[in-house]
Amino acid sequence: MNIASSRPAVQTTQAWSLWVYRLLDSFAIGYGVMYVTLVLPQYDSDSTFLSFLVALGLFMIAAEFFGLYRDWSAMAFGREAGCTILTWTATTILLLAIGQYSLYTRELSAGALWVWCIVTPILALNARIAYRAIRRMLLRRGVGLKRYAVIGCNPLGLDLVEGISKSEAFHLKFQGYYEDRDAARTQAAIHKQAEVLGRVEDLIAEVKAGRVHVVFITLPMRAEARIQRILAELADSTASVYIVPDVFVFQLMHSRWTNVQGLPVVSVFENPFYGVDGVFKRAVDLSAGTLALLLAAVPMLLIAAAIKLTSRGPIFFKQKRYGLDGKSFDVWKFRSMKVCENGEKVVQATKNDSRLTPIGGLLRKTSLDELPQLFNVLNGTMSLVGPRPHANAHNEFYRRQIDGYMLRHKVKPGITGLAQVNGCRGETETLDKMEKRIRYDHQYIREWSILLDLQILLRTFVVVFKTENAY
């Protein structure tokens, strides 16, 4: 038999804890219905049980869409709570929509439905809090802990152990590193930081004796022959074995595992806004963007009138910029210059630029010229927070000068960004300045969270009033 041609499908193993989450949510939805029937007996009708089944089914479908059933142990509870509430909100909207076209609507009390909609997420969140507390208590007592070892005393091995130690999600207790190479070949400094217990053959003996339950191999990918020999030895045991590829040598952007027809693949550069995160990001853009536009409506009218009265030309200026996935779009601004450059050559604004209109300098220093980009946010070509879009001519220049420059286009450009609130505004007359801006853009993509977006928005107001490097 040709072994190479009979590759088994690689499947993602779901932890039993994910099924506990499903049971807890099902209990919350069911108990919510029971609570309502006790408080409001008139709600108890032939449709009660059917409503529960429909709601449960809709919730499970919405949960898959929003990514609710993942292991949340290593994440902040706020994100888990937000995802749970969003999933239940979508469920109730769908339930009400279905109810409008069914005969059961007449039997359902609007008041009872409101009680059910409020009680259920409260029950679900409390159940999840209790579950987290129980898991922490059991882990502190050593229940369910497995001993693990790492083959490879190298930076990747150190990073792996540090990452596992910071999370209770893995239920693992570290035994030590095992390495066949001497300290001179694996960096003596690394050996001083790590506890090397012995050679790989010593670990294999520990594994076969049942004293080590999980093994991580962090050898470089080029050591294929060594890895195959180790795997052949470990195959004669019941230990769980994991290969940790040294993809850390690349500049990772929200990498995650997936599979293509059973073949495991890892993304190196990826958009962070998938599942519930993308929904949250867009919801904040729409709600906050709409509110900002309403508040800015009168100032925008006054600015438009001032531009028209003080200089000849259009009120608005649009320019081609690269957006999400490098697709070109028109970014809108109030015209602050006497020229409207939008070709293959675009000259950056400089201090005391002679091209500025009478009020152009004020608009640019206060960033009021950016207000029309709220329309870009609402139509989905921009976000409130993200890497600032550059003119297409500048993109084509800098992509040849700076490694990883185009990675900033893995997300939507923003009206403000991490680079801008850290002083990277205005002219980038040297390559160093642009490189610094790109480093902040990459950091934003790697570390993105809703909280980070809110922090950047708040810091933006402080930066705008300072008007440093803005001209």
Q: Clarify whether residues 150 and 42 are in a common domain.
A: no
Q: Clarify whether residues 123 and 169 are in a common domain.
A: no
Q: Clarify whether residues 28 and 117 are in a common domain.
A: yes
Is 211 domain-assigned?
yes
Closest CA to 289 of 58, 453, 51: 453
Per-residue pLDDT 10s for the chain (471 aa) are 333 333 333 333 345 677 888 999 999 998 888 887 777 766 656 667 777 888 899 999 998 888 888 767 667 788 888 889 989 999 988 888 777 776 554 555 667 778 888 899 999 999 999 988 887 787 777 666 788 999 988 888 888 888 888 766 667 888 889 988 776 666 655 655 667 888 999 999 999 888 888 999 998 888 889 999 999 988 888 888 888 877 655 555 666 666 666 666 666 667 777 767 788 899 899 999 999 999 999 999 999 999 888 888 888 888 888 998 888 899 999 888 866 655 555 555 556 666 788 888 888 888 888 899 999 999 999 999 999 998 888 888 888 899 888 889 889 999 999 999 998 876 677 888 899 999 999 999 888 888 889 899 999 887 776 655 554
Alpha helices in 14-46 (DSSP H): 16-39
pLDDT of res. 448: 87
pLDDT of res. 10: 35
Q: Clarify whether residues 454 and 311 are in a common domain.
A: yes
- At 233-285, the pLDDT tens digits run 888 888 888 888 776 555 556 666 666 666 666 666 677 777 677 888 998 99
CB-hemisphere CA count at 13 Å for 25? 26
- Report phi then psi at 436, rounded to 5: -65, -40
Task: Spell out the residues 6+ positions from residue 109 whose beta carbon is closer than 8 angstroms to its own.
Answer: 40, 42, 43
| CA of residue 162 relative to chain centroid, distance | 21
Q: How far apart are CA 469 and CA 277, in angstroms?
A: 33
Residues 52 and 96 sit within 8 Å (Cβ to Cβ)? no
Domain at 164, CATH number: 3.40.50.720
Please state, as a whole number, how many other Cβ atoms lie within 10 Å of the Cβ of residue 214: 20
- Report phi then psi at 346, rounded to 5: -130, 120
pLDDT of res. 380: 93
Q: How far apart are CA 299 and CA 51, in angstroms?
A: 50
For 434-464, give one letter per residue: b (16+ CB within 10 A) or e: bebbbbbbbebbeebebeebeebbeebeebb
Is 197 domain-assigned?
yes
pLDDT of res. 190: 60
Q: What is the dihedral of CA 233, 235, 239, 243, to 10 degrees?
A: 80
Q: Clarify whether residues 185 and 301 are in a common domain.
A: no
pLDDT of res. 450: 82
Q: How far apart are CA 350 and CA 430, in angstroms?
A: 13
Is 351 domain-assigned?
yes
pLDDT of res. 341: 58
Is 267 domain-assigned?
no
Boundary residue ending a domain (121, 140, 159) = 140
Is 455 domain-assigned?
yes
User: How many structural domains does the chain have?
Assistant: 3
Burial class (CB in 10 A: 0-12, 13-18, 19+), 22: middle
Q: Clarify whether residues 107 and 180 are in a common domain.
A: no
CA dist 72 to 58, 168, 192, Å? Answer: 22, 10, 34
Boundary residue ending a domain (234, 249, 264) = 249
Closest CA to 258 of 66, 12, 8, 9: 12
Helix (H, G, I), strand (E, B) or coil at 356: strand
Q: Clarify whether residues 341 and 450 are in a common domain.
A: yes
Residues 90 and 152 sit within 8 Å (Cβ to Cβ)? no
Supply the Cα-derived Rg of the chain in whole angstroms. Answer: 28
Burial class (CB in 10 A: 0-12, 13-18, 19+), 116: buried
The C-alpha angle with vertex 256 and arms to 383 and 17, in degrees rounded to 5, equals 105
Q: How far apart are CA 282 and CA 269, in angstroms?
A: 21
In the chain, the amino acid numbered 267 is S
pTM assigned to the model: 0.61
Alpha helices in 40-172 (DSSP H): 47-66, 77-100, 110-140, 155-165
Q: Which residues pair with 328 in a beta bridge?
A: 322
Boundary residue ending a domain (106, 140, 174) = 140
Q: What stretches of 278-405 adopt beta strand conformation (E)?
A: 316-322, 328-334, 383-385
Domain that includes residue 281, residue range: 276-466
Task: Spell out the residues 6+ positions from residue 163 whose beta carbon is closer than 8 angstroms to its own.
Answer: none
Is 255 domain-assigned?
no
Quick one: three-class SS letters along 333-350? EECCECCCCCCCCCCCCC
Q: Clarify whether residues 333 and 458 are in a common domain.
A: yes
Residues 91 and 59 sit within 8 Å (Cβ to Cβ)? yes
Q: Clarify whether residues 102 and 181 are in a common domain.
A: no
pLDDT of res. 11: 38
pLDDT of res. 37: 78
Q: Which two tokens stand for residue 1?
A: 């038999």
> Angle between the 47-66 and 77-100 helix axes, to the nearest 10 degrees?
130
The DSSP letter of residue 415 is: E
Q: Clarify whether residues 212 and 292 are in a common domain.
A: no
pLDDT of res. 381: 94
- Report phi then psi at 430, rounded to 5: -120, 155
Q: Clarify whether residues 405 and 452 are in a common domain.
A: yes
Is 4 domain-assigned?
no
Q: How far apart are CA 318 and CA 308, in angstroms?
A: 16
Is 1 domain-assigned?
no
Q: Clarify whether residues 89 and 42 are in a common domain.
A: yes
